[in-house]
Structure 1
Amino acid sequence: MPEAGLIVAISGLLPALSPAEQRVARLVVADPADASRRTITDLATAAETSEATVIRFCRSVGLEGYPQLRIRLAAEAARRVEPVDARVVGGDIPPGADFAQIIATIAFNDARAVEETAQQLDPEVCEAVVEALNAASRIEIYGAGASGFVASDFQQKLHRIGRTAYYWPDVHSALTSAALLSRGDVAIGISHTGTTGDVLDVLEVARSRGATTVALTNFPRSPIADVADHMLTTAARETTYRSGATASRLAQLTVVDCLFVGVAARNRAKARKALEVTAEAVRSRRVTRRRG
């Protein structure tokens, strides 16, 4: 587990923990500094669970025991950047918040999602995915809801540099496309929760046909991991009014942009030429300001 990413890692593992361990996790994530000062008995009591559960939680997140957890939490709390606006607490927007507070809260948490996603993104996995994309004869991208917009954005980016890529918003079309894939093709499934049935089903079909499967999710132990050859993760924490729609989408776009640039960099001359040609194709559609 990365030294600087304990809170991000715990947040990502949250759905895979037992209910009692989740209560411990939420206390730790909400206030790492406070948790680091507590004894194991204090933390167990606050989480309405036992000391044995706290120890199990430590091991579930990859730590040897409670002393190591306290040390890591203290270090992370010392590095943690707090919002300039003191009213921005935990990302939630309380009833009666004025618009200045809404703007500050959204801006801070969106920026944190992008920054923490970049910090925990595994360069080796990204490299492997880019290599697969670069060698692929066909790339299929799948996503539903807000993740579908990210899938569409990625398809458009790849298409503009001359890559054969498709996005299928309809599950029937997605399943039929996946059934026609073969070894050497790449299928990418995007799901914030990692539990979107349509996306999981399509990746499973693609994998059965021999295609390389890639998952982009916020939760590395979610069901999508079972059908993915490569796992890419985001670090977004959705809050009030924003579940699966805002911070997660920006975090996903960060990963997508990294992959896109990686593919383009391996084909620099071809990509630059394709971007110039496609830009020229739509230049006449732009309206210039008229005087008068």
Structure 2
Amino acid sequence: MAIHDNILIKIRERKESLTPVERRVADYVLANLEEIPHLSIKRLAQLSKTSDASVLRFCKTMGYGGYRSFIVSVSASLGSMDEEHRDPYTDIQPGDDLSVIIANISRNNCRSIEDTLSVLDRNEVARAVQALRESGRIVFFGIGASGLVCRDAEQKFSRINKMCHAYTDGHSQLTAATLLGKGDVAIFISNSGDTAEILDTLEIAKKSGARLIAITKYNRSELADKSDVVLSISTPEVTIRSGAMGSRIAMLTVIDILFAGVASAEYPHVKKYLTKTHDILSGKHRR
């Protein structure tokens, strides 16, 4: 499983939020990936009918310090690009044989996790884990399928005796955000980053002084822009398993990473809680 940045995934996820000029650069890069490492910035600008400054701006928008680091990332990703084309996301078609559905869903879920690893910023993960370790209270906010991920997170962090709660409807979210304070951590889970209820809650939480963490699609969004820490996910663009299926697997993976990061760092302290909760759930208390 590749863990380096995958430039194809980055461009695919961010393309719709690029400026028209940046999109011209993106379109040329995606259509001519193999030749990009051999092009100067001036040549890429000419071929994409833009300018040197536009190419540089595109590179920075995609998260690179300059053109050279962008080229290095393209070169590193070329090997996995072959794999991407051999084994693309596959939508489920009406009438598909059950064996085909089993294979495609499993493969797509694996790809969702792999692609998320390609856009997930390790430094942001470290900052999120540190914030959770220092928190007095953790609250999870999400609507619909994202709310189910919040419930999973609540269950996990409760096992290590963290004070936490999941809020999955608009009214309770607004109330909970109003009561946040410094030392609290609010985690907002939204695939699009534009869910109205989440953004309303975010505005209130931001005034409270709590640390704000977003788990959202690798894209420009109001949620990502206004959060302190952004944990990006990548999801497939297919119809039957669109939003809820693809994002849920990716989001659950990020929650697992955060939980394991906190539990591992605090293991001497939380071991007793893990043991107690394991014993009670496995029925050992009945002996």
Q: Please give the TM-score of this superposition, normalised by the length of structure 1.
A: 0.78
Counterpart of 2:57 in structure 1 is: 59
Letter in 1 for 2:195: T
Aligned-residue Cα RMSD (Å) equals 3.6
Letter in 1 for 2:18: L
Letter in 1 for 2:272: K
**Runs of 5+ in structure 2 lacking a partner?**
none
When structure 1 is superposed on structure 2, of 101-110 and 220-229 the one drifting more is: 101-110
Structure 1 CA distance, aligned partners of 2:45 and 2:101?
37
Distance change (3 Å), C-alpha of 1:212 and 1:170 = same
When structure 1 is superposed on structure 2, of 167-176 and 74-83 the one drifting more is: 74-83
Number of aligned positions between the proteins? 276
Structure 1 CA distance, aligned partners of 2:209 and 2:238?
38
Structure 2 CA distance, aligned partners of 1:93 and 1:252?
21
SS in 1 for 2:237: coil
Counterpart of 2:117 in structure 1 is: 118
SS in 1 for 2:243: coil
Counterpart of 2:6 in structure 1 is: 5
CA contact (8 A) 1:13 1:61 kept: no
Question: Equivalent residues in 2 for 1:1-292 (5 A)?
Answer: 4-18=5-19, 22=23, 25=26, 32=33, 51-52=49-50, 56=54, 59-62=57-60, 73=74, 75-80=76-81, 82=83, 89-94=88-93, 97-284=96-283
**Runs of 5+ in structure 1 lacking a partner?**
45-50, 286-292
- The structure with the greater share of residues assigned to helix is 2
| Residues 195-237 of structure 1: per-residue CA shift (max 9 Å, x gap) | 1111122122111011111111113421102321111111222
| Residues 126-176 of structure 1: per-residue CA shift (max 9 Å, x gap) | 121111111111111001111111111111100111000010112111111
Q: Please give the TM-score of this superposition, normalised by the length of structure 2.
A: 0.80
SS in 2 for 1:80: helix
Shift of 1:37: 10
CA contact (8 A) 1:21 1:53 kept: no
Structure 1 CA distance, aligned partners of 2:112 and 2:142?
20
CA contact (8 A) 1:161 1:271 kept: yes
Distance change (3 Å), C-alpha of 1:152 and 1:53 = farther
| Residues 18-58 of structure 1: per-residue CA shift (max 9 Å, x gap) | 467557746855884599899979986xxxxxx23998467
CA contact (8 A) 1:181 1:211 kept: yes
CA contact (8 A) 2:188 2:213 kept: yes
When structure 1 is superposed on structure 2, of 275-284 and 221-230 the one drifting more is: 275-284
